Amino acid sequence: MGTATRSDWAERARATLSDAGYRRGGARAAVIDALAGQDCAITALELEDLLRRSDAGVGRASIYRALEQLEQLGLLQRIEVSRGTAGYERVESDGEHHHHAICRECGRLIPFEDSSLERAIEQVAGRISFDVSEHDVVLRGLCERCD
């Protein structure tokens, strides 16, 4: 109970965009649907590939524009997945989220969750004079395959 589903996110994204005054369009709809099916961060170029294979294909610029809009509305979180490349993943309405371990050898992303880490971050956020709206933790090293 109370568990957010992927379709919930897509629904919320459409509603939020609508409330923000955005119209409907095929490209952005395709981007939203694709993001709804991801389990972890995906880059703009990976998204472009994915959309070219399955659906009709979406212009690269439209993908970047959609990602930026969704990020600004708090529906996506942007993280750096490799030198100079950004990945995006859904922000769930219930605040549930994970962080990433990134393998410096193969670039693989391993997601993990940790409640005491979250607690520690909340406490830090409370004691510094800075209005924290989001946070991100990255562990770097070698994954079990590359070790």
Partner DNA sequence: ATGACTGCAAAGCCTTTGCACGCAA
Partner DNA sequence: TTGCGTGCAAAGGCTTTGCAGTCAT
DSSP 37-50: T-SS-EEHHHHHHH
When asked if residue 16 is in the footprint of DNA (CB under 7 A), the reply is: no
DSSP per position, 73-123: TTSEEEEEEETTEEEEEE--TT----EEEEETTT--EEEE--HHHHHHHHH
Q: Scan residues 100-129 and list those touching a second copy (CB under 8 A).
A: 101, 103-104, 110, 112, 114, 116-117, 119-121, 123-125, 128-129
Does the protein bind a second copy through residue 94 (CB under 8 A)? no
For residues 87, 117, 12, 8, the Cα torsion angle rounded to the nearest 10 degrees is 100
Query: β-strands 85-90, 42-43: how paired?
Result: antiparallel
Q: Based on the shown chain and the rule CB under 7 A, indicate whether residue 29 belongs to the binding site for DNA.
A: yes
Binding partner of 121, given DNA, a second copy, none, CB within 5-8 angstroms per partner class: a second copy
Among 24, 56, 61, 84, indicate the residue that binds a second copy (CB under 8 A): 84
Choosing from 25, 37, 111, 141, the residue that interacts with DNA (CB under 7 A) is 25
95 near a second copy, judged by CB under 8 A: no
Q: From CA 88, how far away is CA 77, in angstroms rounded?
A: 6
CB of 125 to DNA, least distance (A): 26
Name the minimum Å distance from CB 33 to a second copy.
25
CA distances from 135 to 9, 74, 89, 124, 129 (A): 20, 13, 13, 11, 15
The answer to whether 59 contacts DNA (rule: CB under 7 A) is yes
Binding interface with a second copy (CB under 8 A): 78, 80, 83-84, 86, 101, 103-104, 110, 112, 114, 116-117, 119-121, 123-125, 128-144, 147
